Amino acid sequence: MKKYDVAAYIWPAYTGDEPRTKIFWEDGIGEWQTVRDACGEVKENGYVWNRKPLLGFQNEADPTVMEQQINLALSHGVNVFIYDWYWYDDRPFLENCLNDGFLKAKNCKDIKFYIMWANHNANYTWDRRNAGKLWDTIWRGDVTTEQFYKIGRRWIDQYFKCENYYKIDNKPVISIYELKNFVKGFGSIEKAREAMKWLDDECKKEGLGGVHFQFVRWNGKSENISGVDGDTIETTNELISELGFSSLTHYQFVHFAYIDRDYLEILPDVKKEWETVAKTYDVPYYPHVSIGWDNNPRFKDFSWGVCKNNTPENFEKALREAKDFADKTGVSLITVNSWNEWTETSYLLPDNVNGYGYLEAIKKVFKD
């Protein structure tokens, strides 16, 4: 029987253990504050978001909490966590969930993990008091070559050397969320490639075999890197190969599909995107499935763009499509958004609306 790796993204904001989180969530419980305040709120158009976590507002930087969540994931067929990882103001941000919660859990070695560097700029979207009103950049996501050296050493020493760090072709996987910011910090495509080669060489010196760089693709149209060397360059197959990426996947349906409609209407466009990407790039594409999209919890006013009818049953249909696509293209990794993106309404964890339905869908397709 073929083995599949089902990897769920983790948004590490459900803790108040890091002082800088109070910039956005002053109550000291991380983004649980937004979930709590948004639940049951009636907006001007009558819209109500009514989600509550069945497991409670758990501190996910607590190893006992993550022991429970790891068991929950494994028992339902999720065997990889992809941690969103941040670096702002020349230091890490939101590492507590990974460092203090997951890695200190007694059973953490039972499940694999890897990092997606969420290298986007940070603005007030996380701050419900100002979301939609202020768009100022608080922290920039691009870094210099010197900063990247610090980041790379941190990845190697703290994560890549862990025996349960996820590898492809015996190389630790690092996923890059935003290619434009990635190249921008270095100043050119050539220097970005040199930085990637440096990290690859450092990993080889450590006996890690190199690095498997994963590119997170956004929309189905041309994605441009502007302002670099005065040119506008499309993220073509040639560019991805030149930079040294080994594979690609997606992070969210909303990045490439019109989301304000029925989930079953979105799925044909998703399948089309998978097929287009697989044909366009020489490196493997790992199919992605999102549970849904609705980021109204982060805004006091109504936020346009709500995925509808994304029931566990319809999510299961998307998973089966992804499984069939993986079989057809010869890959075994499927990425899922997400384990806990509560405020984007795309999560596997049990809630008061669907219970354990989304987890049961994963189990039916990949475990049973």
Alpha-carbon span 321 to 318, nearest angstrom? 5
pLDDT of residue 322: 98
- Kindly state the average pLDDT of the residues 312-335: 98
Handedness of CA 41, 47, 53, 59 (dihedral sign): negative
Residue-wise pLDDT tens digits, 7-27: 999 999 999 999 999 999 999
How many domains does the structure of the chain reveal? 1
The CATH number of the domain where 339 resides is what? 3.20.20.80
SS3 of 59-100: the string is CCCCHHHHHHHHHHHHHCCCCEEEEEEEEECCEEECCHHHHH
Coil, helix or strand at residue 289: strand
pLDDT of residue 233: 52
The rounded mean pLDDT for the chain is 94
Is the overall model pTM greater than 0.85, yes or no? yes
| Percentage above 90 pLDDT, the chain | 90
pLDDT of residue 234: 63
Q: 354 pLDDT exceeds 70?
A: yes
SS3 of 146-169: the string is HHHHHHHHHHHHHHHCCCCECEEC
Confidence bin at 239 (pLDDT 50/70/90): confident
Domain membership of residue 46 as a residue range: 5-367
Confidence bin at 222 (pLDDT 50/70/90): very low
C-beta separation of 2 from 327 below 8 A = yes
For residue 50, the tally of other CB atoms under 10 A from its CB is: 11
Q: 225 pLDDT exceeds 80?
A: no
Confidence bin at 158 (pLDDT 50/70/90): very high
Token pair, residue 310, equals 């994304």
Q: 232 pLDDT exceeds 70?
A: no
- Kindly state the average pLDDT of the residues 52-78: 98
- Kindly state the average pLDDT of the residues 148-171: 98
Q: 226 pLDDT exceeds 70?
A: no
pLDDT of residue 219: 76
Alpha-carbon span 291 to 196, nearest angstrom? 32
